[in-house]
């Protein structure tokens, strides 16, 4: 097999004689030494993006940034304005159009900013009536997957504390919600801590993000370790590749459906904003480290080839024995350039701190059935159907995360001129 490997199969060269002719407008790696040199600018750019997008934990609440009265209308329809005071152990007031008290609220930020959800800190408002009975809980700001938050809202999760007092919330525990485990657990912890600070039973210490890494957060984590290390062995022991479909099936079930652990542009942005505190399980850390270091130092795909649940579904569907469509060289070149352009655009967006829902860029949340959006589900179905007739269409031609790992593996593209425009099998 020669040049079509790069475009039509997510496979690797042996790293010893890495000479590939890539067609017009694409790039060619002539030697392993050149390949590593081409990676240096990529690493430099990623470090720069990390530094530019790095955020600081808030030490005071920015009332000018959020329309609290507008948000509070969902629970207090009369809300027209709020008292702009973030008290430690007193209620702030919500006012109606006539300046009369319409309700009360306390904010979790910055008092609980050390508690991390899936995407980072979650800012919460707890609202109450004049009798100090809880009337609702609202998320003011977050970096969680929007579909997961919407799923929690749809099942009434944020109403779990209604009718209670803050003193009662201090001891109240809520069950984690499958499909949004990290988010729901973080919200519960935030409310308990904020209630404790309010009542004086919990001492408030200036928030410093802390990391609590657990070896086994749940029983299925053992299977995740098995997948991670078996996949790593597959990089170096070719005989293990005969079980690749089995490994990918396990990844779909355990990394995708059960745990919802993905590497995505959204994940990488959250990592750049929150640092290591964003990683709360050892499996997530191992997944990230191997996914970055294997392509960087061994010139092999790890996450894309074995772990990615979305890629796994495409690979399995691609085994259906039907006539396959092989795009022309021009179409392949166009799509590959388009994927690189999309990735560069996202890097600029993240660096400039432009507000956008990055979870809508990639369809990986389709595995969280309870909260996946209609757009995500529809797009995923189209891609899965296409993967029956084309080899991994999302992975090869569109995926920004795949582009990230390609750059780690191959370095920056070097433009070459070539008259060879034919793909040979």
How many Cα atoms sit within 13 Å of 348 on the Cβ side?
6
Q: Is 93 helix (H, G, I), strand (E, B) or coil?
A: strand
Same domain, 179 and 298: no
pLDDT tens column, 172-193? 877 767 656 778 888 989 999 9
Domain membership flag for residue 420: no
Which of 149, 175, 199 is the C-terminal boundary of a domain?
Answer: 199
Place of tokens 């809880």: 134
Task: Name the DSSP class of 146.
Answer: H
Q: Which of residues 117 and 335 earns the better pLDDT score?
A: 335
Which of the four pLDDT bands, split at 50, 70 and 90, describes residue 59?
very low
Question: Is 379 a domain residue?
Answer: yes
- pLDDT, tens only, 410-421: 887 754 444 444
Residues 283/261, Cβ–Cβ less than 8 Å: yes
Q: Count helices and strands (H / E) in the chain.
A: 15, 5
Q: Over pLDDT 70: what percentage of the chain? A: 77
Question: How far apart (Å, rounded) are the C-alpha atoms in residues 328 and 322?
Answer: 19
- Convert the pLDDT of each residue in 265-317 to its tens digit: 888 877 776 665 555 678 888 999 999 999 999 989 999 999 999 999 999 99
**Over the chain, what is the mean pLDDT?**
80
Do residues 80 and 47 share a domain?
Answer: no
Answer yes or no: do 225 and 182 share one domain. no
Place of tokens 């919460």: 124
Question: Which of 176, 199, 222 is the last residue in one of the domains?
Answer: 199
Residue-wise pLDDT for 310-358, tens only, equals 999 999 999 999 999 989 988 988 998 999 999 999 888 877 767 676 7
Residues 91 and 136 in one domain: yes
pLDDT classification of 21: cutoffs 50, 70, 90: very low
Sheet of 81-82: strand order equals 81-82, 92-95, 101-107, 123-128, 134-141
pLDDT digits (tens, 9 = 90+) for 243-255: 999 999 999 999 9
Selection from 359, 356, 340, 420 nearest residue 118 by Cα: 359
CA 46 vs CA 42, 52, 53, 203: distances in Å: 6, 10, 11, 39
Report yes or no on 86 lying in a domain.
yes
Q: Which pLDDT score is estimated for 293?
A: 93
Considering the domain architecture, whether residues 329 and 390 belong to the same structural domain is answered as yes
Q: Are residues 185 and 230 in the same domain?
A: no
Q: What is the pLDDT of residue 6?
A: 37
| Structural domains in the chain (count) | 2
Whether residue 28 is predicted with pLDDT greater than 70 in this model: the reply is no
Residues 9 and 122 in one domain: no
184 and 106, same domain (yes or no): yes
Max mean pLDDT range (115-129, 156-170, 363-377, 379-393): 379-393
Candidates 317, 330, 342; CA nearest to 398 is 342
Residues 156 and 244 in one domain: no
Q: Give the side-chain half-sphere CA count within 13 A for 141.
A: 19
Residue 236 is part of which domain span? 4-54+214-410
- At 94, which helix (H) or strand (E)? strand 92-95
């Amino acid at each position: 097999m020669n040049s079509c490997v790069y475009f039509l199969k997510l496979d690797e060269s042996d790293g010893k004689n890495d000479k590939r002719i890539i067609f017009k407008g694409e790039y060619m790696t002539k030697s392993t030494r050149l390949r590593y040199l081409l990676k240096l600018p990529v690493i430099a750019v990623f470090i720069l993006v990390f530094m530019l997008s790095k955020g600081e934990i808030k030490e005071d609440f920015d009332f000018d940034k959020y329309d609290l009265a507008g948000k509070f209308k969902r629970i207090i329809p009369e809300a027209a304005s709020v008292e702009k005071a973030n008290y430690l152990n007193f209620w702030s007031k919500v006012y109606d159009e006539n300046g009369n008290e319409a309700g009360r609220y306390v904010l979790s930020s910055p008092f609980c900013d050390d508690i991390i959800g899936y995407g980072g800190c979650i800012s919460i408002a707890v609202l109450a009536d004049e009798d100090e009975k809880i009337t609702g809980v609202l998320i003011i700001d977050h970096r969680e997957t929007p579909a997961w938050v919407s799923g929690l809202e749809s099942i009434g999760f944020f109403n779990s504390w209604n009718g209670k007092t803050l003193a009662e919330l201090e001891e109240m525990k809520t069950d984690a919600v499958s499909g949004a485990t990290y988010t729901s657990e973080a919200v519960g912890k935030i409310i308990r801590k904020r209630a404790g600070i309010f009542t004086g039973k919990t001492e408030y210490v200036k928030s410093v993000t802390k990391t609590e890494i657990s070896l086994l957060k749940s029983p299925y984590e053992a299977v995740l370790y098995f997948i991670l290390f078996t996949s790593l062995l597959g990089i170096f022991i070719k005989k293990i590749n005969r079980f690749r479909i089995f490994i990918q099936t396990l990844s779909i079930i355990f990394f995708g459906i059960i745990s919802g652990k993905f590497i995505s542009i959204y994940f990488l942005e959250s990592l750049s904003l929150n640092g290591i505190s964003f990683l709360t399980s050892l499996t997530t850390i191992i997944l990230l480290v191997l996914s970055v270091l294997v392509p960087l130092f061994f010139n092999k795909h790890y996450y894309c080839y074995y772990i990615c649940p979305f890629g796994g579904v495409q690979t399995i569907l691609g085994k259906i024995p039907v006539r396959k469509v092989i795009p022309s060289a021009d179409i392949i070149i166009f799509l590959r350039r388009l994927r690189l352009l999309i990735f560069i655009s996202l890097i600029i967006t993240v660096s400039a701190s432009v507000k956008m829902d990055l979870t809508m860029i990639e369809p990986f949340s389709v595995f969280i059935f309870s909260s996946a959006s209609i757009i995500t589900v529809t797009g995923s179905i189209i891609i899965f159907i296409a993967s029956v007739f084309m080899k991994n269409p999302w992975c090869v031609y569109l995926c920004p995360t795949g582009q990230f790992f390609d750059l780690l593996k191959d370095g920056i593209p070097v433009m070459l001129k070539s008259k060879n425009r034919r793909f040979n099998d």
